[in-house]
Amino acid sequence: MRRDKVTVPKLMEMKKSGKKITMLTAYDCSFAEILDEVGIDILLVGDSLGNVILGYDNTIPVTMEDVIHHTKAVFRGVKNALVVGDMPFMSYFSREETLRNAGRLIQAGAEAVKLEGGLVFEDKIRALTEVGIPVMGHVGLLPQSIHQMGGYKVQGRTPEAAKKILNDAKAVEQAGAFSVVLEGMPSDLAKKITEELKIPTIGIGAGVHCDGQVLVTHDLMGFYEKTPRFVKRYANLRKVILEASRKYKEDVEEGAFPTDGYGYS
Ligand code: KIV
């Protein structure tokens, strides 16, 4: 099936027309090709690659080199999805670093960058959008700030905290971002933000009212025994891989693989 390239203006149109936006994480070419083939709109080379691919406990150790490496791989697998590269922890604290690091992600194949934080990073978002680098914001639960937040906790539960998140989202929009991830917040707060912003909101653990949804691909594919409460598991790849690799081991050990048909004459 022929599909059109997903672009930043197209995502804005999707919000206007009420068509839901789909976004998933991708860290390598093989997954990127498959997710692109089904027409996922946005592939995020998330710093969640720290947990999923590199085995860290959180996203904080992830470096620019890590995200660049995986962005290059994802870019090679994609035809139509918009590729977004995540700015890792400490890569957007000064204006110069922000521009240089975002530029490196764009050179690696990302078509936009994502960074965590609202009002405090307004100037960085503006600096990027002014030079033509599209930015996706990220407000609410911020995995790069878990030490300050005291863990992966739902944000915005008090009226003051909800107001702060709404203001953060507005600041991100004002600074020129083309969309914003709303992570870990009550669904009625995500609804209010979605209604008040002109740019699309993409929710994760933020309920049904966002303009789109994102999940960590490995969570929905069932790689893990445990997943966050907001994840729907669409497959059990852990089971599939366990069974296949067990069977392979058994076959090799018992001489059932390879048989004549699998070699060269
Ligand atoms: O790094 C990531 O995967 C993310 C999404 C979960 C939004 O930031």
Q: What is the tens place of the pLDDT at every residue in 123-139?
A: 999 999 999 999 999 99
Interval 178-185 mean pLDDT: 98
CB of 168 sitting under 6 A from ligand 1: no
Q: What is the pLDDT of residue 1?
A: 53
The ranges of the chain annotated as CATH 3.20.20.60 are 8-234
Active site residue 183: yes
Give 48 Cα–ligand 1 centroid separation in angstroms.
6
Structure tokens at 158: 């008090």
pLDDT band at 263 (very low <50, low <70, confident <90, very high): confident
Q: Measured between alpha carbons, how far is 157 from 159 in angstroms, rounded to an integer?
A: 7
Cβ atoms of 91 and 61 within 8 Å: the answer is no
For residue range 65-88, what is the model confidence (pLDDT) as tens digits? 999 999 999 999 999 999 999 999
Q: What is the pLDDT of residue 67?
A: 98
Name the residue of 40, 48, 70, 136 whose CB sits within 8 Å of the most ligand 1 atoms, as the mutation to test its pocket: 48
Q: What is the pLDDT of residue 95?
A: 98
- Above pLDDT 70, what percent of the chain? 99
CB of 86 sitting under 6 A from ligand 1: yes
Q: Measured between alpha carbons, how far is 247 from 237 in angstroms, rounded to an integer?
A: 15
Q: What is the pLDDT of residue 156?
A: 98
pLDDT band at 2 (very low <50, low <70, confident <90, very high): low
Cβ atoms of 197 and 188 within 8 Å: the answer is no
Cβ atoms of 105 and 98 within 8 Å: the answer is no
Q: What is the DSSP annotation of 149-176?
A: HTSS-----SHHHHHHHHHHHHHHHHTT
The CATH-assigned architecture of domain 8-234 is Alpha-Beta Barrel (3.20)
Cβ atoms of 22 and 200 within 8 Å: the answer is no
Active-site residue, from 111, 116, 122, 183: 183
Name the residue of 21, 22, 23, 25 whose CB sits within 8 Å of the most ligand 1 atoms, as the mutation to test its pocket: 25
Question: Is residue 113 predicted with pLDDT exceeding 80?
Answer: yes
CB of 204 sitting under 6 A from ligand 1: yes
For residue range 11-34, what is the model confidence (pLDDT) as tens digits? 999 999 999 999 999 999 999 999
Q: What is the pLDDT of residue 198?
A: 98
Interval 148-163 mean pLDDT: 97
Q: Atom of ligand 1 at shortest distance to CA of 202?
A: 7
Whose C-alpha lies nearest to ligand 1, atom 1? Answer: 46
Q: Measured between alpha carbons, how far is 115 from 124 in angstroms, rounded to an integer?
A: 9
SS3 for 64?
A: helix
- Residue closest to 8 by CA, chosen among 111, 86, 103: 111
